[in-house]
């Protein structure tokens, strides 16, 4: 009898202990989602970069610029996106009249929660940082075919993946980003009314004339020079000022999936890039993923030179950036 009672007491104690150890789930805690994130195909992204380079320099007002635009629009439409061409004219610091085109692609336009991804697709008309050929056009494989190549691959995956993300995705390819003043040109050029910089003409125009009335996005990510070998992406100053939570999301995601060697959790200064006008004028929290080299600064020694060719591009770098973006897209929940 003693043994039976003892066993009953012990058994009852175990049940009490188990009950006390069981944590009650908070009522407001959301269940963990299991989302299958498509694998970003770096080989495909590299081919998209190569195709742009094979057109030649995508300098505004040239035939190669026009042909490249047709290719980009066709690729995005073939990926199932709804595409809008935003044509406009702008004047450069050296009084060139440019016919420019922003290209906007939307996936699942009916979804209220939206993420915006952007890059510029034009190339600078002169390699003013080159040691020898300062007036020569250049391939712009990294600046900015790399960012466009990654976004074209994301567009392809959004169509072909067996599962769609819970949010809508918009892609903007800005034109006229790279026709600013020449390096070491100390002359001051008076800006016309309505222009805040001679750089980033496409994003300034779009920010004031959005492709849809009252368009906005929950946040945006800008890609610029994101394909070079041994690239490192530090946390840029304007991104931290206007979109600190998005910075944390991007760099934490990269770290979680194994790309902390590329996405360095150190803060650096600010630069003028398309995200400035997306933040200041369009009022969309935007971060800039852009190459930074300690001891050199932003962009690397190939910036605005004939060194910026296809030999510079690394599939490993394209993969790190592309997979980070795919993970961010698929981790988002609908409103």
Query: What is the domain extent for residue 311?
Result: 38-180+192-331
Give the integer Cα–Cα distance in Å for 40 and 326: 7
User: What is the rounded CA–CA span in Å between residue 281 and residue 275?
Assistant: 10
Residues 6 or more apart whose Cβ sits within 8 Å of residue 144: 119, 120, 121, 122, 123, 177, 178, 223, 224, 225
Greatest alpha-carbon pair distance for the chain in Å reads 104
pTM summary value = 0.89
Rounded to an integer, the average pLDDT of 6-30 is: 45
> Over 60: is that where the pLDDT of 18 sits?
no
Transcribe 148-171 into DSSP letters: HHHHHHHHHHHHHSSS--SSEEEE
Does residue 224 belong to any structural domain of this protein? Answer: yes
Residue 18 lies in a domain: no
| Residue 312 in domain | yes
Residue 235, in any domain of the structure: yes
Per-residue pLDDT, 15: 40
Q: Is residue 7 part of a domain?
A: no
Three-state DSSP class for 292? strand
Tell me, yes or no, whether 187 lies in a domain.
Answer: no
The candidate with the shortest Cα–Cα distance to 226, out of 286, 300, 170, is 300
Residue 219 lies in a domain: yes
Tell me if 296 is assigned to some domain.
Answer: yes
What percentage of the chain reaches a pLDDT higher than 70? 90
Which CATH number is 66's domain given?
A: 3.40.630.10
Q: Convert the pLDDT of each residue in 83-97 to its tens digit.
A: 999 999 999 999 999
Provide the number of structural domains found in the chain: 1
């Amino acid at each position: 009898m003693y043994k039976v009672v003892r066993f009953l007491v012990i058994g009852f104690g175990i049940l009490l202990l188990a009950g006390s150890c069981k944590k009650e789930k908070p009522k407001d805690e959301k269940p963990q989602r299991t989302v299958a994130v498509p694998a970003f195909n770096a080989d495909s992204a590299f081919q998209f970069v190569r195709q742009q380079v094979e057109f030649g320099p995508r300098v505004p007002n040239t035939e190669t610029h026009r042909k490249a635009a047709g290719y980009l629009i066709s690729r995005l439409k073939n990926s199932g996106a709804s595409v809008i061409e935003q044509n406009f004219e702008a004047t450069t610091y050296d009084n060139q009249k440019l016919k420019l085109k922003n290209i906007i692609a939307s996936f699942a336009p009916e979804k209220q929660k939206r993420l915006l991804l952007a890059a510029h697709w034009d190339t600078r008309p002169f390699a003013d940082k080159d040691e020898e050929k300062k007036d020569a056009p250049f391939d712009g494989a990294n600046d900015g075919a790399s960012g466009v190549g990654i976004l074209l691959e994301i567009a392809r995956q959004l169509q072909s993946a067996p599962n769609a993300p819970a949010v809508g995705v918009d892609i903007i390819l800005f034109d006229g980003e790279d026709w600013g003043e020449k390096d070491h040109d100390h002359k001051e050029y008076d800006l016309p009314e309505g222009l805040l910089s001679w750089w980033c003409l496409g994003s300034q125009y779009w920010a004031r004339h959005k492709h849809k009335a009252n368009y906005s996005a929950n946040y945006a990510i800008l890609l610029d020079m994101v394909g070079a070998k041994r690239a490192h992406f530090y946390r840029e100053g304007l991104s931290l000022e206007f979109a600190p939570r998005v910075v944390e999301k991007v760099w934490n995601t990269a770290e979680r999936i194994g790309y902390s060697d590329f996405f360095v959790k150190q803060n650096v200064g600010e630069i003028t890039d398309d995200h400035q006008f997306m933040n200041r004028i369009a009022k969309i929290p935007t971060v800039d993923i852009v190459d930074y080299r300690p001891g050199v600064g932003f962009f690397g020694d190939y910036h605005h030179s004939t060194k910026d060719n296809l030999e510079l591009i690394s599939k490993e770098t394209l993969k790190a950036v592309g997979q980070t973006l795919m993970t961010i897209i698929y981790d988002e929940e609908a409103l």
